[in-house]
Amino acid sequence: MLIQFTLNNQPVAVEAPSDITLLALLRDHLRLTGSKEACEVGECGACSVILDGELVNSCLVAAPQVSGRSVITIEGVRAPDGGPNDMQQNFISYGAVQCGFCIPGMIMAGEALLLKNPQPTRQQIRVALAGNLCRCTGYQQIVDAIEATAKSRARQRA
């Protein structure tokens, strides 16, 4: 079937089987491999994307469900000049990246949180990340990076 939706702020139309997941649509049909597959049962968050402003596990979303809606993936997260945005730069600066496999999902979770709660506490950040597993970092520097991003964005708004 033809699936039409907005992907990273661009309209797309893609021919794909109707029984696949959004994750498979992104990875196998659109070759956007930044969203990772690691459990396919909605437990790890490696496949996280933002669907109409909500963080979702793309492995649990049927591809046709996104018709007419807006999907943001890690490929759509960047600064206006095309470089890393402040969240991505903070992930680098705070040492939040180790193997990196969970990181696209973590950044999506961080961005989704700040859309709803621009000034979260560390505990609120932890709760927001609870669906995203990381086996390398112990989460601490990821929390640092999201906290720093929230603070710097708040300063910019002020």
Residues that bind another protein (CB under 8 A): 27, 31-41, 43-44, 46, 73-75, 77-78, 84, 88-89, 91-95, 97-104, 107, 122, 125-127, 129-143
Tell me which residues touch ligand FES (CB under 6 A): 37-40, 42-47, 57, 59, 98-103, 134-137
Partner that binds at residue 59, options another protein, ligand FES, none, CB closer than 5 to 8 Å by kind: ligand FES
**Which H/E stretch holds residue 4?**
strand 2-7
- Measured distance CA(12)–CA(131) in Å, rounded: 28
Indicate which of ligand FES, another protein, none lies near residue 143 (CB less than 5 to 8 Å, by partner kind): another protein
Please give the backbone phi and psi of residue 47, each rounded to the nearest 5 degrees, phi first: -100, 15
- From the CB of 126, what's the least distance to another protein, in Å? 4
Which residue's CB is nearer to another protein, number 19 or number 67?
A: 19
- The listed partner (another protein, ligand FES, none) that binds 88, CB under 5 to 8 Å by sort, is another protein
With CB under 5 to 8 Å by kind, the binding choice for 94 among ligand FES, another protein, none is another protein
Q: How many CB atoms lie within 10 A of CB 133?
A: 17
Cα separation of 100 and 154, whole Å?
27
Least separation in angstroms between residue 94's CB and ligand FES is: 13
Compute the Cα dihedral for 130, 35, 26, 84 and give only its sign: positive
Q: Of 5 and 105, which has the nearer Cβ to another protein?
A: 105
Closest CA to 59 of 71, 42, 76, 81: 42
Which 3 state secondary structure label does DSSP give 60?
Answer: helix
